[in-house]
Amino acid sequence: MAETDPHPTSTNTGVVLPPIVGNADVEWDDFDSAAYFEHNYGELRPDDARIIEIIAGYFQSTFPPHRVGRAIDVGSGTNLYPALTMLPYSSRVTLFERAFTNRQWLTRELDKPQSSWKQFWDAISAGRDTYAKINDPLDMLHRLARVVRGNVFNLAADEYDLGTMFFVAESITTRTDEFQRATRQFVNSLKRNAPFAAAFMRDSSGYIVGNQRFPACSITEEDVRKALAPVARNVDIVMVESNDLREGYGGMMVATGRKK
Ligand SMILES: C[S@@+](CC[C@H](N)C(=O)[O-])C[C@H]1O[C@@H](n2cnc3c(N)ncnc32)[C@H](O)[C@@H]1O
């Protein structure tokens, strides 16, 4: 990662400020996909199981049980479960990703998915008819998904019928203005009234993948609410307990709602 200032700045009051790292300062194409997958999605964790309960429940309660149209997952990384939660309601799923390594990983994964996704699908489909009637979800995702190179800050408006964005807006920059812009741009890429689910790390100080350090913007529930207010309605934010993924964060947050 290329940091604008690799050394913390000391102010004249002696307070040490962390360096400011914008999204464009990071070498996203070096993202170590295998290490990220192994650490986060090699098996289903209780925090992801709780997030699945919230968003699969939300999508199922929001949609009539038939396909509605085009879905997008922004900054997919090596995570297929947001896309899997949109499967019954999608005629096409765009996996929108900036990093070359993650796009390559996604393409291979769709072709030959690893076994842990079965644990995620079991959690998604348990007790939910709309999901449970899909026989081979990973084959269906393979048919419907397109891996697309892109930058959240350039997403076109009013294109998608539903969307997800997990651990992206707050985990690609230290800048509050970029966190807000990424969140709003994601919701704006949806059509009017389209439902969405977005997950965020709370109070994150950054993260390490392989041997690379990545920036984060430290945010709370109030920051998520503020970021969504101009673009979304019916917003619900739920705190998800999580403390053993790594050091330097204060749980997870899931927001559901509709584009205004
Ligand atoms: C912390 S990872 C989250 C990955 C995945 N969504 C998950 O739930 O684990 C952040 C992701 O955002 C991607 N990313 C970084 N900058 C981006 C940008 N400007 N536009 C779209 N994606 C971006 C990264 O390549 C990475 O895959």
pLDDT tens, residue by residue, 9-43: 444 556 655 688 999 999 999 999 999 999 999 99
Lowest mean pLDDT among 8-22, 102-116, 186-200: 8-22
Residue 208 included in any domain: yes
Nearest-atom number in ligand 1 for the CA of 207 is 1
**Which amino acid appears at position 221 of this protein?**
E
pLDDT at 12: 58
pLDDT at 54: 98
Residue 121 pLDDT > 80: yes
What are the tens digits of pLDDT across the range 45-94?
999 999 999 999 999 999 876 667 999 999 999 999 999 999 999 999 99
If one counts the domains in the chain, the total is 1
Q: What is the mean pLDDT of residues 142-168?
A: 98
Lowest mean pLDDT among 44-53, 109-118, 130-139, 241-250: 241-250
Please tell me the distance between residue 77's alpha carbon and the centre of ligand 1 in angstroms. Answer: 5
Residue 19 included in any domain: no
Residue range(s) defining the domain that contains residue 96: 32-259
Provide the CATH number for the domain around residue 202: 3.40.50.150
Tell which one of 98, 245, 254 to mutate to probe ligand 1, the residue whose CB is within 8 A of the most ligand atoms: 98
At 96, the pLDDT band (50, 70, 90 cuts) reads very high
Q: Which residue CA neighbors atom 11 of ligand 1 most closely?
A: 75
Say how far apart CA 11 and CA 166 lie, in whole Å: 34
Residue 246 included in any domain: yes
Q: Which residues contact 157 (CB under 8 A, 6 or more apart)?
A: 188, 189
Ligand 1 in contact with 40 (CB < 6 A)?
A: yes
Lowest mean pLDDT among 13-27, 186-200, 208-222: 13-27
Residue 4 pLDDT > 50: no
Tell which one of 38, 81, 172 to mutate to probe ligand 1, the residue whose CB is within 8 A of the most ligand atoms: 172
Residue 20 included in any domain: no
Residue 2 included in any domain: no
Residue 15 included in any domain: no
Residue 115 included in any domain: yes
Residue 26 included in any domain: no
Please tell me the distance between residue 13's alpha carbon and the centre of ligand 1 in angstroms. Answer: 35
